[in-house]
Amino acid sequence: MKRYRLLAVSGIGVVAVLVGVLLFGNLNGNLVYYLTPDEALAKHADYAEGRRFQLGGFIRPGSDRRTADGLTFVVTSEVRPDSAAVVVLHTGPVAQLFQPGIGVVVEGSWRGTEFLSDTMIVKHDENYRPPGPTPQPGPGGDPR
C-alpha cells in the first residue's frame, strides 16, 4: 500500500509540473513587454542596432510630421515637456487613432539615436464616443 501511495504522489507531482510548464510556457509567449523611453535610453547599449524591441509612451504634441521616409514623432515617458524622449521614424502603416498626446507602442530597433519602427499600436480608453452628426444637405443644398 505504501508503494502505491508513493507512486500516486510522484505521478501527481509530474502532472503538476507538466501543467505548469504548459501553462506558463504558453502564457509567456503571449505577454507583450515594452520599454518606456527612460528604460530604452538607459538600456541603449543592451539593444544593439537591429535588435528589435517595443517602445511605449506618449506622443509629444506638435512633434509629429510626415516626411518622405514616413512619419516622425517624439515618444516621451510622460506628457511633461522635461521627461525622457525618443525620436521615432515610423515607416509602416499609421494607426487610425494616431494623434499627439495619446499613448503608443511602436516596435522596431535603434538606428543611432533614433528609433526606427514599422509596427504601431495606439493605446486608447474603453469609452466609445460616436462621431457627431454630420450636416445633411437640404433640398436647396443648404446644410440642415
Q: Is 33 annotated as a binding residue?
A: no
Mapping DSSP to helix (H, G, I), strand (E, B) and coil, where does residue 133 land? coil
Rounded Cα gap, residues 108 and 54, in angstroms:
6
User: Measured over all CA atoms, what is the biggest interatomic distance in the chain, rounded to whole angstroms?
Assistant: 95
Buried/exposed code over 25-45 (b: 16+ C-beta within 10 A; e: otherwise): eeeeeeeeebbbbbbbeeeee
CB 106 within 8 A of CB 79: no
Report the C-alpha gap between 124 and 131 in whole angstroms: 16
SS3 61: coil
Collapsing DSSP to helix, strand or coil, 54 comes out as strand
Binding-site sequence positions for heme? 124, 128
Q: Which residue ranges are tagged as binding site?
A: 124, 128
